[in-house]
Amino acid sequence: MNIVRRAAVLILLLFALTPNAHAKKIYIAISNPDMSFLSGGVAQSQGYFKDEGLDVELVQITANVSIAALAAGNIDYNLILQSIVTGNLRGLPMKVAAILIERPNHVFVVDKSIQKFTDLKGKKAAISSYGSLTDILARLTAAHYGLDPKSDIGFTAAGSSSGRLAQLQSGVVQAALVTPPGDAIAEKMGFKRLLEVGTLFPFPVNGVGLHENKLKNERDEVKKVLRALYRANQFILDNPKGAIKDLAAWGRSTPAAAEEAYKANGKNYSRNLIVPRATLEKVLESTRWNVETKKKVGVDDVFDFGIMREILKEMGKKVE
């Protein structure tokens, strides 16, 4: 075999041995390239997906569209947790394999006349949409303070954070539930931060959702995706400067805005991607407020952390 042919064979062999040479394209849904979905952004920018031999594309779509896309097989994974839980309760074959963020970073901003949350009794508060995460968190907060979440406060669907603040500014509502930097914007408008929902109770806001068939039939791929996201969460928790840098680049924001977002939400990321059963019960209970279902659905019907526990065990980590 001449030198040219030997070189050609060597190149072909090297190409065949390259991990990503024939990697399957994997699509993962997110709502926005922001702090709430930074696990995916970091796993991509730090090369954790590539380390697992995965060719991943993060797809930005709305929560409602993400449910249909996952059910139809147009995407492989969905990090928009509440959409997965809602989809499951509506009878769609999807489950949650891990939790990325344990507590919400949502903030109630209010008119300065409101001194405490119970002052909102008989008044109105702006949320994004009915049945959304903001709706659920707002009602849970009302219940936390002894108010009837169905009648004591009038919740108004106002769309985006800017839309909610516009309702507050016009006087249509006296409170709005927003995420950073919405709270800072509200303060500049003359309103005040009343409370951070995440300080009141744990409530997962993002996780890893997938079709039941993938969980059953493609466990090796699922394990690789979860392992990459686990490493991303460790990076976010242990390397603030690196996480802020990645967030600024990925979300195309200023370093100052990225730092502010990290300070507000960095602490809420899960260390081992698993949360207690009692917390999951609360997620199901509150989701049922907006989803009519005759089927009795329990925690194990929606959440399956089996593969995540395998990963932790293999790493010598404590498995809860």
Buried b (16+ CB within 10 A) or exposed e, 125-152: bbbbeebbbbbbbbbbbbeebebebeeb
Domain presence at residue 7: no
> Using 50, 70 and 90 to split pLDDT, how confident is the model at 132?
confident
Closest CA to 261 of 275, 276, 251, 274: 251
Q: What is the pLDDT of residue 22?
A: 60
96 and 118 inside one domain: no
Residue 67: domain span: 24-103+203-314
Residue 207 has pLDDT above 70, yes or no: yes
For residues 149 and 187, is the Cβ–Cβ distance under 8 A?
A: no
Tell me which of 199, 220, 239 is where a domain ends: 199
For range 105-131, the mean pLDDT? 94
209 and 195 inside one domain: no
For residues 27 and 57, is the Cβ–Cβ distance under 8 A?
A: yes
CATH number of residue 284's parent domain: 3.40.190.10
269 and 183 inside one domain: no
127 and 274 inside one domain: no
Domain presence at residue 252: yes
Q: What is the pLDDT of residue 320?
A: 66
Check residue 130 and give left, alpha or beta (phi > 0: left; psi -120 to 50: alpha).
beta
305 and 209 inside one domain: yes
211 and 97 inside one domain: yes
231 and 258 inside one domain: yes
For residues 131 and 290, is the Cβ–Cβ distance under 8 A?
A: yes
226 and 97 inside one domain: yes
Domain presence at residue 3: no
Q: What percent of the chain has pLDDT over 70?
A: 92
Supply the mean pLDDT for the chain: 89
Contacts of 18 (CB under 8 A, 6+ apart): none
Tell me which of 173, 199, 225 is where a domain ends: 199
CA 209/CA 187 separation, integer angstroms: 35
Span 17-71, pLDDT tens digits:
444 446 779 999 998 888 889 999 999 999 999 999 999 999 998 888 899 999 9
Domain presence at residue 281: yes
Domain presence at residue 162: yes
Domain presence at residue 12: no
78 and 211 inside one domain: yes
99 and 226 inside one domain: yes
99 and 184 inside one domain: no
Tell me which of 199, 229, 263 is where a domain ends: 199
Q: What percent of the chain has pLDDT over 90?
A: 69
C-alpha dist (Å) from residue 238 to 18, 244, 267, 270, 276: 31, 12, 10, 12, 22
Q: Model-level pTM greater than 0.85?
A: no
96 and 147 inside one domain: no
Domain presence at residue 182: yes
Domain presence at residue 112: yes
| Structural domain total, the chain | 2
